[in-house]
Amino acid sequence: MNRSARDLASLIRRKELSPVEVVRAALDRIDARSELNAFITITADQAMDAARKAESEVMAGGILPPLHGIPYSVKDLTLTAGVRTTMGSAIYEDFVPKEDAVAVARSKAAGAILIGKTTTPEFGHKQVPTAPIFGRTLSPINPRYIPGASSCGAAVAIAAGMGSLALGTDGGGSIRIPASCCGIVGLKPTLGVVPHLQAPDLFSVNSFVGPMARDTADTALLFDVIRGFDSRDPYGQCQMPAGRSAPLTLKGVKVAWLPTAGNPVDPEVASITEAAVRLMERQGAIVEVVNLDFVALERHFLVVLQSMLAARVGANLERFGPRLDASLIDTVMKGRQLSAVALNEAGFAKTQCFAKLQALFETFDVLVSPTVSAPPLPVDMDVSGDIEIAGKPAGTVRGAWYPYTYPMNLTGHPALSMPCGHSAIGLPIGLQLAGRWYDDGYLLGIASLLEELLKP
């Protein structure tokens, strides 16, 4: 199942490959790599029924939707009608939604076939791929290192060949970080471009549904299916602007290169991401180093995260406490101690960061940085403790390892992670590209050009 979704769709249309064969192969691969623990729920029977129906539609002739017969997975934070959606938590262990999330409904309408719900830490609250109800998800690259989170199962499924496409969610980097750790592509869209109606507060949403795939073209294929306005979303009241057209070449593209955001960077990550940027420069891009202190935003991001989880989960602590992740309980307890003043101060900081990025994008076309500041971290890392980078104490996981990602959640700007190399021991290293609002397609275009240049 390492064929692209584009190839599979073409073969299905030409009747050279059956949707039944494609879905069966994906399910077999899930079974063959069960030790990776990428799925909470596998929808084998439903998927095979849908595949047989898709096959009959192929044989009947006529126009087929773009993802007809293509298997895909959905992170278990995202609603799927008739298929349990646990949020990775005992609180929702038996919850079966009646409606699909918008992105799921659009994927289904495009012909995609759901093969299962992928793993996530409880409510996506941490970067360690564990939860009491499913255990630990392992990296398909090297099980001694984490695959990233919280869209851990989605990234592992794609990297291990359990389907070509996945829907993840990103509340602070949760698509981009596992994409970087597993050597795939993941896009956090512009705020409102992919409606996310599950958020309890649609006016202050920081979590995004986005596509994940092995390359930029498949990522763009799924993105084109799920994007578009929805009047139920405060940020989707009218047709979305098209954004700029993807560039045909990198010549003249103005790149803001952010090697550090106020954090230490592993030498291998620094060298490999810098090499990718200089490769862009040799193709005619105009590169300038910029300075942004994203580490200073960490405390405000934590206020948003902790207060939200305290409000959303806090009422369940007494009933479910012994069955919940200790780090989730700790997050909720910290959120309960926060004041309305602190939450408003976080809002002020979000606004200031948005203004800085808007000013930057008046000069530059794209902001490029490492996705994370070090290769994937060891599996025994302490999610609540400090980490080491290049053997030296570096600070907290969020502030030291992924300060590049969570600012884009606070401001709504689109951002993607793409592979750009490997460490000396073979761990993937990702490059983040961020851009102006509605420039999702433009970012995918730049990433596609760089992807071609990076091919061995």
Catalytic residue IDs: 75, 150, 174
CB contact at 8 A, 79 and 99: yes
As to burial, measured by CB atoms within 10 angstroms (0-12 exposed, 13-18 middle, 19+ buried), residue 237 is: exposed
Q: Residue 49 and residue 35: Cα distance in Å, rounded? A: 26
Cross-strand bridge partners of residue 396: 386
Beta-carbon contacts of residue 435 (< 8 Å; ≥ 6 apart): 361, 365, 366, 367, 413, 414, 415, 442, 443
Beta-carbon contacts of residue 86 (< 8 Å; ≥ 6 apart): 40, 41, 76, 92, 93, 95, 117, 133
Helix ranges (H only) for 198-313 are 216-226, 267-282, 298-313
Q: Residue 271 and residue 275: Cα distance in Å, rounded? A: 6
Beta strands 130-131; 113-118: pairing state: unpaired
Q: Residue 432 and residue 196: Cα distance in Å, rounded? A: 23
As to burial, measured by CB atoms within 10 angstroms (0-12 exposed, 13-18 middle, 19+ buried), residue 322 is: exposed
Q: Residue 248 and residue 169: Cα distance in Å, rounded? A: 30
Beta strands 185-188; 208-213: pairing state: antiparallel
User: At which residue do the structure tokens 């989960």 appear?
Assistant: 313
Q: Residue 167 and residue 73: Cα distance in Å, rounded? A: 6
